[in-house]
Chain A
Amino acid sequence: MDGKRPRSFYVLAAVFTLFLIFLYGPTITIAILSFQGPQGGLTFPMRGVSLHWFYDLFEQQAVGDIWGSFSRSLILGLMVMVTTVVVSVMGGLAFRKRFAGSGLLFYVIITSLVIPSILVSLGVGLIFNQLGFKVHWATSGFGSQLTWTLPFGLLIMFAVFNRFDKSYEEAARDQGASPWQTIRHVVLPIIAPSLIGVALFGFTLSYDEFARTLLTAGSYNTLPLEIYGMTTNVTTPVIFALGTLTTIFSFFVIGVFLLTVWSLGRRRSKQGSDAGKGMV
């Protein structure tokens, strides 16, 4: 199978390229259109090139509370991220040994993954209303988003622990390490790169989540809710400008996470450390 590539390679490579165009084309299109001139509309042709619509975003009254909702989404994303990492690691560790009810708990996790988002929104909203609590993005919104990020975090942790080489832990125990020491100095360093992955999922899924916060965010919108509101009453490219900015922000966040993983790996190979290697 070495040497010349079969003809099917070129066909599939073409299909793959088309897929990437399909995947990124629309996003690139709105990025271009967000530089429309002040007279331009939602589609081509471009009527001049300007930063007009980006300036519009910075004028409060023009498009609602963009920056307030952005900072709320940012804080909420960080809250969800930290919680998802901690809870997923604990959950992952718990599931390494079977315990009474672990099978049932596993199915609850799967339910959390497959349940239509609007049901979580509706149910949590109803409970808060009937108990007389006010829905707020940092309480009800926060909890609702966790039902979406935790299953992903846990699935990653399950995958990690399925490949985990237990002999490292046994070695630690043989040398007299306590269970906590084993986790702190052996298990956590080995799974650290995957934790960055879990954090990435936690943050980005929260930052972009819409349906689960729809009825649980209360009177202060998160950014996706704000954008959703704009789709119904904004008919200018300002929405493309906003879309472009938040997509750039997402790319930036993803880049930071990927870079962290990459530099962790490099530092390790430089120091000849075998941390992060204990996977089979």
Chain B
Amino acid sequence: MRLNRHVAGWLMATPLSLVLALFLLLPIGMIVIVSFWGATEFSIYPAFQFDNYEFLFGSPVTYSVFINTFKYAVVTWFFTLTIGFTVAYFLAFHVRSLTWQIALFLVCTIPFWTSNIIRMISWIPFLGRNGLANSTLISWGVIDEPVEWLLFSDFSVILTFVHLYTLFMVVPIFNTMMRIDKSLIEAAYDNGATGFQTLTNIIIPLTKPGIMIGSIFVVTLVMGDFITVRFMSGSQSANVGRLISNDIALLQYPSAAATAVVLLATVLIVIAVLLRFVDIRKEL
């Protein structure tokens, strides 16, 4: 007896659906519910009130924190895209043997499989007041005394984001570049296109899906982050993730939940916009 394909599909997808239902959808539902609850200093109680949202939208802090979050996302996106595209372009079009391409690609991706927190910490001896960057600049005579803004500033936050997340740009962009038919590029050269023209007229348009997928990763990772901003800004800057984690630390779960709902909505809207430019399933 042959199973109906819908039944067969769902049977195979049951474990997946169960995990996602229990640990993704249910928790999202719970956050939405709790965002209407009330809180005392020690506990939370069921209610249906809009206090948390009223407070959230009534506070000027919220807006500046959201703007800050977008700022981090846009600046990080710009740098990861520029660096990621260049690296992928070099690997895909300038490295000639497949073995070398794979080897160098692996070298680029290995840090992805190591700890983010460790990679974050490892910037401290570099950027600190007496760190490598300052002492090098002093010995070169570029500056007279240590610059303070290298560590615990927006600079170090963005530097760390770029350090952590450029890989998420390199991988999808490299993946789409490898699928570009090389004869298209030769055709462009044969017709007299310069290297730059080939880049803007052929390679960039054909790489767009990879760029979009990379952008989705980077933007969502930066917007949802709280630990990098806390750690690398020395608790001096805030983004939405930190707002949530601060509320959690104070056991103000309903207020954290309300902020989380707004953050999730924002992220999903951004993703929906980006997804209009790319069909992910086709690009894999």
Contacts and interface: CB of A to CB of B under 8 A. Distances in A.
A215 interface: yes
Given A105-B17, A123-B27, A99 B90 contact: no
Contacts of A200: 113
B128 A224 contact: no
A-B CB proximity, top 9 nearest: A123-B27, A116-B224, A99-B9, A94-B12, A26-B122, A143-B23, A204-B113, A94-B13, A243-B118
Interface in B1-29: 5-6, 8-17, 19-20, 22-29
A158 B123 CA distance: 36
A90 B19 contact: no
Interface stretch (A166-174, A247-255, A268-276): A247-255
Interface of A: 1, 5-6, 8-9, 12-13, 15-16, 19-20, 22-27, 29-30, 33, 42-44, 86-88, 90-91, 93-95, 97-102, 105-106, 108-120, 122-124, 126-127, 130, 143-144, 146-147, 150, 154-155, 158-159, 162, 200-201, 204-205, 207-208, 210-211, 215, 224, 227-228, 231, 239-240, 243, 246-247, 250-251, 253-254, 258
A94 B9 contact: yes
Interface string B120-144: 0111111010111001000000000
Contacts of A224: 115, 117
Contacts of A26: 119, 122-123, 125-126, 163
B111 A27 contact: yes
Question: Is the interface on chain B under 10, 10 to 19, 20 to 34, or 35 or more residues?
Answer: 35 or more
A9 B224 contact: no
Given A29-B132, A123-B28, A258-B106, A87 B19 contact: yes
Contact of A105 (B13, B34, B280): B13
Most buried by B among A6, A29, A159: A29
A12 B91 CA distance: 9
Q: Is the interface of B mostly helix, strand, loop or mixed?
A: helix
B86 A215 contact: no
B116 interface: yes
Contact of B94 (A8, A246, A253): A8
